[in-house]
Chains A and B, each alone.
Chain A
């Protein structure tokens, strides 16, 4: 196992950030805008921040009134079940704005993210970041294909914007079940070509999976143009596995952004691991930390069906 634990890593900041705005979005997503100049200055596309969930009583009481618990318990429980969350939640950087603002987009899946989505403007939240390696944008390609599924859309606007600034042609292939959490025309402002799919039938959208769109697009490109293409993807693991297969078939280099349950996000606890291959192939697969060596990995090196 060749994991360098002591390689020089850039500094990480831990600050109390002020919430500028917070909004609930369709399909259980939430978006939060924060002022954190220290992190915003350093952040690269594909990196994430580790956010401490608010734990004061006021928030917990707010959480009591949320409909999801009311639905579970038929009426408001006397207090929120369980105790306030402890661990920080890893959330990818959605956009970096001017004046040191940072936008986070996340899906509300449990107690911690619910509490975060309850934050209002002028509240404060403790943020650690920027964490992880981020996407590697170097290389001789002129077209970047961005494949995003479901919550995997979160890190993509910042990536598309950065690629657009680098004068690359950007193609967004995104899929969702029913509705996109954000207004997808945002990507058009970065000069991106949009190919969208939904699993339910909608006018103007491909009916099916975004991986089908990717396959069609690459077929259309043909072998020759595939050489100058770099693909980036983020989303559910099954989707990313399919993307990796398609890209490998068309010999398109791919970078995947993965997620895993995290402990410290600093590389100390070894909780968030992913099995990846070394040069020697499967005989040498080993676990590396998603928070430090990831979250972005070479699509060819990820061991997808891990037992």
Chain B
């Protein structure tokens, strides 16, 4: 089998993408930033999950907002964004001839706010799907407060489901005690797909100044360090979603094609690249080529054929 015979297209809850590699929310801005880089290829990205957007503009947390830890990146941005109106009227219309599908990431303080933001995105007709952020660990209200409780999660998903017919993706937190119950609650309330994981809570301390490095004290850990956690969560949640035939977008520390294949085997139908974008802007292009090579080597025609095909140890 030739590399070019590998079919990488995936259909995530009705969003048809030419590549199973997406960019995770918050690491790719509002999709236009990286296009400034010479020889950047957006065609290899299946979809872009936009930066978390709220109803009103938000200022976010005080700096410093990012710190590097062993094999990981700790961040506490706090959902700084210019508000849904600005995104719809100023940013997204200027993205012409942009191949990847756009998925809005919606956040808010109350279920009602989530609904309002979603409605604006839905009416604009500029996005192909909605990712509901019920897992941001860096805000005082909303975010993870919903995502750690099945009842609250379900309230948010229901509020969003009511106002849109677009594919709905619930983004789950790895910090909750029982991720499977949250996943079930989201699916029962109308989520068409799940994306996991968001960042793990953590902190960094400067031993010289004896101060926390981040302005927010606590932040969310991402990067290669969290990959084993992410794989395990995807594997766990897949046991729940396979009954409902709900696809999973796996993310957390993905850096190369090998990582992506591992996520597919654990149960993901598509993967998203997050922090790796910061140090390698060609990561998606490299991953797509790598996935093709792996598929041709293992004689697999469609990437969807390997989702959840984890072998059990004899």
Contact = CB atoms under 8 A, between A and B. Distances in A.
Q: Do A and B bind each other?
A: yes
Contact of B66 (A5, A13, A261): A261
Interface in B147-185: none
A6 B63 contact: no
- Secondary structure at the B interface, as helix, strand, loop or mixed, is loop
A264 interface: yes
Interface in A37-95: 38, 52, 82-83, 85-88
- Secondary structure at the A interface, as helix, strand, loop or mixed, is loop
B28 to A, nearest CB: 6
Contacts of A138: none
B62 interface: yes
A87 B29 contact: no
Nearest to A15: B38
Interface stretch (A153-161, A196-204, A268-276): A268-276
Interface in B275-314: 275, 277-279, 281-282
A38 B77 CA distance: 32
Given A86-B275, A264-B278, A272 B63 contact: yes
A88 B70 contact: no
B26 interface: yes
Contacts of B63: 260-261, 271-274, 287, 306
Contact of B65 (A9, A272, A307): A272
A267 interface: yes
Nearest to A286: B59
A269 B26 contact: yes
A57 to B, nearest CB: 15
A292 B34 CA distance: 12
A263 interface: yes
A3 interface: yes
A12 interface: yes
A271 B68 contact: no
A123 B277 CA distance: 24
Given A1-B57, A261-B65, A6 B37 contact: no
Nearest to A287: B59
A307 B62 contact: yes
B79 to A, nearest CB: 9
Contacts of B62: 306-307
Interface of A: 1, 3-6, 9-14, 38, 52, 82-83, 85-88, 112, 128, 260-264, 266-274, 286-287, 292, 306-307
Given A267-B33, A269-B66, A306-B63, 18 more contacts: A1-B59, A4-B90, A5-B32, A5-B90, A9-B36, A82-B71, A83-B71, A86-B71, A87-B73, A87-B278, A88-B279, A128-B281, A260-B63, A263-B66, A268-B51, A270-B26, A271-B64, A273-B80
